[in-house]
Amino acid sequence: MWDEYLLPASLDEALEMLEGHGGEARIIAGGTDLVLQSQRGQCPAKVMVDITRIPGLDHIEERDGLIYIGAQVTHGRVAASPLMRSRAGVLVEACGSVGGPQIRNVGTLVGNVVNALPAADGAIALFALDAEVEVAERAGRRWTPIATLYAGVGLCTVDPCAAMITQLRFRALGKGEAGAFERLAKRRALVLPILNAAAIVGLKGNKVERARIAIGPVAQTPFVAAEAAEALVGRTPDEDRISRVAQLAAQAAQPRDSLLRGSAEYRKVMAGVLVRRALWRAVEAASLQEGEDANS
Amino acid sequence: MPTLKMILNGQEVFVDVEAGDLLADVLRDRLGLIGTKISCGEGECGACTVLVDGKAVDSCLYPALKVQGREVVTIEGLGEDNRLDPIQQAFVDKTAPQCGYCIPGMVISAKALLDENPHPTRQEIEEGISGNLCRCTGYYQIIEAIELAAERLAEKGGPK
């Protein structure tokens, strides 16, 4: 375990603490994964810099059509947020399926991303939402697409001993747009997913204008099935088309044999099933929503 | 050794801790509050559940110094003198405990749920305790106990 636990009161102070310890200190937020990693000797940091007391990192808000989520926001807060429910339901579903209530009350969505695991429920939804993250370093702050953070299983390109992610952002789902999240697991709570999938669909009339599909864990990093999604754009999303697109997504997915999660063969088939379900629910919700807007 | 200050079960407490201590260890080993159980030690069973600022957390995964200045409620903080909290009494009346090891965590999760949502549906109760494992009961009596506690608390005008 660590030797020192620090509670900085500002972002600058946190970054100074990291710098002052020359790689021996790292950022901690909820710590639900990090504490275990530290106990197992997988986290060599001697000093923990806890960012949960820093003002200005606990927001879930919409500005100019973009949703911003701060680094302190837990899965539980996302899952309970009315704004998120109306503007990014896919993320509500994903965050609501992580662990159990105790884990969701503590573990943060940004932490889910920093962990860089290809099965992370929140991250899969964020990939479907095409999110960006804001990285704060001593040199300043910058925005970068979420995919640039992933260098492999559990490998994040943002070094938590030198920098931190301050917030996430993505375009809020608007008129005629909706998403859905599907998860396959042995129980409904407290277990890691065998597979998960998120889909976003934007409709104009009866045609798909925009589609995005993310699947985990079927590669080293969260997998975006771009070609499959492209095969939906400009088409009428009927049952046949959705099944074909889901099949394309499953073909592109490359799950491995896993003692924990099942055989590659099984999971490849099930990836198609999950994507089909997610697309179907997304299309239904999007058309309902478009209808509502037309009536209002 | 850093000093941890918290409001524990309504009383201000100061306790010297190691920086690497987890909340469950501080409660059990430094303060002698052994009602909070440790079972899996990795956030999968909920036996160590306590409230921090009203929210249920797994104290076995919670760095102790995270609660600096915060309010913590453990199973020992429920009820008064020789009277059980209505949630505890409902667990007794419904014979919800069998071996009993998961029960302090279950009761705390039930309290977190009922404080936030005094009239939960059965599904909301199931979700409310979905972070707590019980290997004896199959959960039925526990769910019924929480339903009974909700009814009794409603008659008394709500939790707390």
Domain annotation covers residue A64 = yes
Given B77, B110, B125, which residue is the final one in a domain?
A: B77
CATH number of the domain that A85 lies in? Answer: 3.30.465.10
Three-state DSSP class for B104? helix
Question: ipTM value of the model?
Answer: 0.96
B5 touches chain A (CB under 8 A): no
Q: According to the model, what pLDDT value does residue A296 have?
A: 43
Q: Calculate how close chain A gets to B59, using CA atoms only, in Å.
A: 9
Q: Are residues B105 and B144 in the same domain?
A: yes
Which chain A residues contact residue B51 at CB under 8 A?
none
- What is the identity of the amino acid at A99? G
Q: How is residue B147 written in tokens?
A: 């339903």
Which chain A residues contact residue B128 at CB under 8 A?
101
Q: According to the model, what pLDDT value does residue A260 have?
A: 87
Domain annotation covers residue A296 = no
- In which band, very low, low, confident or very high, does the pLDDT at A263 lie, cut at 50, 70 and 90? very high
* Pairing label, strands A47-50, A66-70: unpaired
CATH number of the domain that A11 lies in? Answer: 3.30.43.10
Please enumerate in sequence order all residues whose Cβ is within 8 A of that of A168, keeping only pairs 6 or more positions apart, or say none.
A68, A69, A109, A110, A113, A126, A131, A132, A133, A134, A146
CATH number of the domain that B143 lies in? Answer: 1.10.150.120
Given B34, B53, B77, which residue is the final one in a domain?
A: B77
For CA atoms A75, A81, A85, A86, the dihedral sign is: negative
Q: Are residues A81 and A160 in the same domain?
A: yes
Residue of B nearest to A33 (CA): B61
CA–CA distance from A88 to each of A11, A76, A169, A177, A264 (Å)?
28, 15, 11, 10, 31
Residue of A nearest to B55 (CA): A105
Domain annotation covers residue A259 = yes
Q: Are residues B70 and B109 in the same domain?
A: no
**What's the domain range around A128?**
60-171
Which chain A residues contact residue B127 at CB under 8 A?
101, 189
Given B77, B108, B129, which residue is the final one in a domain?
A: B77
Q: Give the predicted TM-score (pTM) of the model.
A: 0.96
Cβ–Cβ below 8 Å for A101 and B65 = no
Q: How is residue A18 written in tokens?
A: 């990291």
Which of B19, B57, B127 is nearest residue A105 as measured by Cβ atoms? B57
Domain annotation covers residue A136 = yes
Which chain A residues contact residue B70 at CB under 8 A?
none
A5 touches chain B (CB under 8 A): yes
Q: What are A161-200's pLDDT values in tens digits?
A: 999 999 999 999 999 999 999 999 998 888 889 999 999 9
- Phi, psi (5° rounding) for residue B69? 80, 5
Q: Are residues B8 and B61 in the same domain?
A: yes
Give which of A102, A187, A190 to mutate to test B binding, by max B Cβ within 10 Å. A102
* Pairing label, strands A195-204, A177-184: antiparallel
Number of domains in chain B: 2
Which of A36, A48, A103 is nearest residue B131 as measured by Cβ atoms? A103
Q: Are residues A282 and A182 in the same domain?
A: yes
**What's the domain range around B141?**
86-155
Q: What are A93-149's pLDDT values in tens digits?
A: 999 999 999 999 999 999 999 999 999 999 999 999 999 999 999 999 999 999 999
Number of domains in chain A: 3
State the average pLDDT for chain A.
95
Domain annotation covers residue B160 = no
Q: Are residues A219 and A182 in the same domain?
A: yes
- What is the identity of the amino acid at B158? G
